[in-house]
Structure 1
Amino acid sequence: MFELNDKRAVITGGGSGIGKAIAHLFARQGAHVHVVDLSDAACLQVVREIREEAGRVTSHACDVSRQADVEALMAAIGPFDILVNNAGIAHIGKADTTSEEDFDRVMSVNVKGVYNCLHAAIPQLRANGGGVIVNMASVAGSVGIKERFAYSTAKGAVMAMTLSVAKDYLQDGIRCNSISPGRVHTPFVDGFLARNYPGREAEMFEQLSKTQPIGRMGRPDEVAALALYLCSNEAAFITGTDYPIDGGFITLNT
């Protein structure tokens, strides 16, 4: 079950965190993985790791907020079967403390970046007879989280785009779902704690972990396992759905 043999998968933001975990897992399950990331160094590191595991993988440095670059990338990759829109950035701030520059930066990556990839990928998937899209949303798109105004706005848009794409391309054999993680332990979390709580990282890590009802943060490989299921043939009857993976955050905190 959950094999991706001979599937070609494009994973944005694949150089670290959740995207990196998805790239590794998809390669282990037989896919030829195309790792896309803003950082060429991060891409190449993932490629080296996957090749050591005898996986098939190609790296691509690309800024998903630039449509012309995304169009050229998708054309260069050629026909593929799976798109995981994982690239994204975070921001902390309320409506009146978020600058226009920061708001535009979050929208350009987290909303326009997803749109750019959809715009370029859907014709490829349609010509290929169909395929699967998974968009990375967030619990922040469903419930209020303090000081996440721009990020919540963007992830709410990702969920809406997921529904729209699922309906518009159903007859083309394209399935589209989204995943909404709660707090996941990624390098971003470690960097955030180091910058904002120097010397108190362990204490604050514990506090953040306890905000999840299950008592800990999620792991990137747990999110990757859900992405694998949604992209596999076993999920062929699923489209137009958002999947929280949040340790009970949405249902047990509201």
Structure 2
Amino acid sequence: MSDNSRTAIVTGGAKGIGAAIVRKLSASGTSVAIIDLDEEAARTLADQVPGAFALIADVGDHKALGEAIEAACAQLNGLDVLINNAGWDHVQRFTDTEPSLWDKLIHINLKGVFNATHLAIPQLIARGGGRIVNVASDAGRVGSSGEAVYAACKGGTIAFTKSIARETARHGITVNCVCPGPTDTPLLDEIKRDERAKATMDAIVRATPNRRLAQPEEIAEAVAFFAAAPAHVTGQVLSVSGGLTMAG
């Protein structure tokens, strides 16, 4: 299938890594539905990107997300690619957190992936196959101080990726996972307002062989690879961390 005939949904596509993914897919000719809670940012981006449009939904709300995905697929005339990118983080030592924070992290980072995947698979099957790309985190691969619940959600996303890859292979659907290291995004700027979190992030950059943060466009390149990868590439996890973590 040529890029010019592809359709995609990007959750959390309004800003940061998500916006870079939207721009990358659009540049290849893919029509893209942006699903995000930030209506202003989503609509602003959609106005700037050819073939893109915005829908507003909470990925952790199965009913609301279902309505958005149904509307997206109707406007796209079918779905070829789902990018599960929506995510949120709050850096704090686990013993200082409360269950309400755990619930929010799980709602967005893990339940959001479950919901979008559950809703998109029938659309992909109807299309005769497709691609699912989950954006997790290296925190889910190796752990991260101050991000215990976030890391647990991302580790769950990695395991979920592999399980769904096994379940959907017979339908011609591939499922792969991109794990960014620390990336220069508005969310990271927000996290670094806390001095302890900033010190942690600065130390991580110093420990990275490339000695810098990833740029959103670099994550988007990896996502775009899996979005168009051969059908025999499935259940895989790719770190984009400047060498901060390396596979054994």
What is the distance in 2 between the residues matched to 1:159 and 1:205? 23
- Mapping of residues 2-81 of structure 1, within 5 Å: 4-50=3-49, 55-78=50-73, 79-81=78-80
Q: What is the aligned partner in structure 2 of residue 235 from structure 1?
A: 230
Q: What is the aligned partner in structure 2 of residue 251 from structure 1?
A: 246
Q: What is the aligned partner in structure 1 of residue 211 from structure 2?
A: 215
Structure 1 residue 174: Cα displacement: 0.5
What is the distance in 2 between the residues matched to 1:222 and 1:182? 11
What is the distance in 2 between the residues matched to 1:215 and 1:158? 27
Structure 1 residue 209: Cα displacement: 2.8
Tell whether the 8 Å contact from 1:98 to 1:150 is kept in structure 2 after alignment: no
Tell whether the 8 Å contact from 1:162 to 1:240 is kept in structure 2 after alignment: yes
- Cα deviation code 1:182-212 (max 9, x no counterpart): 011111122233x224xxxx99875553232
What is the distance in 2 between the residues matched to 1:3 and 1:140? 34
Q: Give the counterpart letter for 1:217 in structure 2.
A: L
Structure 1 residue 72: Cα displacement: 1.1
Structure 1 residue 144: Cα displacement: 2.4
Tell whether the 8 Å contact from 2:136 to 2:155 is kept in structure 1 after alignment: yes
Distance 1:204 1:175, change over 3 A: closer
What is the distance in 1 between the residues matched to 2:204 and 2:176? 28
Equivalent residue pairs, number: 244
Q: Secondary structure at the match of 1:96?
A: helix
Tell whether the 8 Å contact from 1:91 to 1:150 is kept in structure 2 after alignment: no
Structure 1 residue 49: Cα displacement: 1.7
What is the distance in 2 between the residues matched to 1:48 and 1:62? 18
What is the distance in 2 between the residues matched to 1:94 and 1:124? 40
Aligned residues with identical type, % of pairs: 32
Tell whether the 8 Å contact from 2:124 to 2:130 is kept in structure 1 after alignment: yes
Distance 1:109 1:203, change over 3 A: closer
Tell whether the 8 Å contact from 1:183 to 1:212 is kept in structure 2 after alignment: no
Matched, 1:158 2:139: no
Over the residues paired in the alignment, what is the CA RMSD in angstroms?
2.2
Q: Give the counterpart letter for 1:118 in structure 2.
A: T
Q: Give unmatched runs, 5+ long, in structure 2.
A: none
Q: Secondary structure at the match of 1:65?
A: coil
- Mapping of residues 196-207 of structure 1, within 5 Å: 196-197=194-195, 207=203
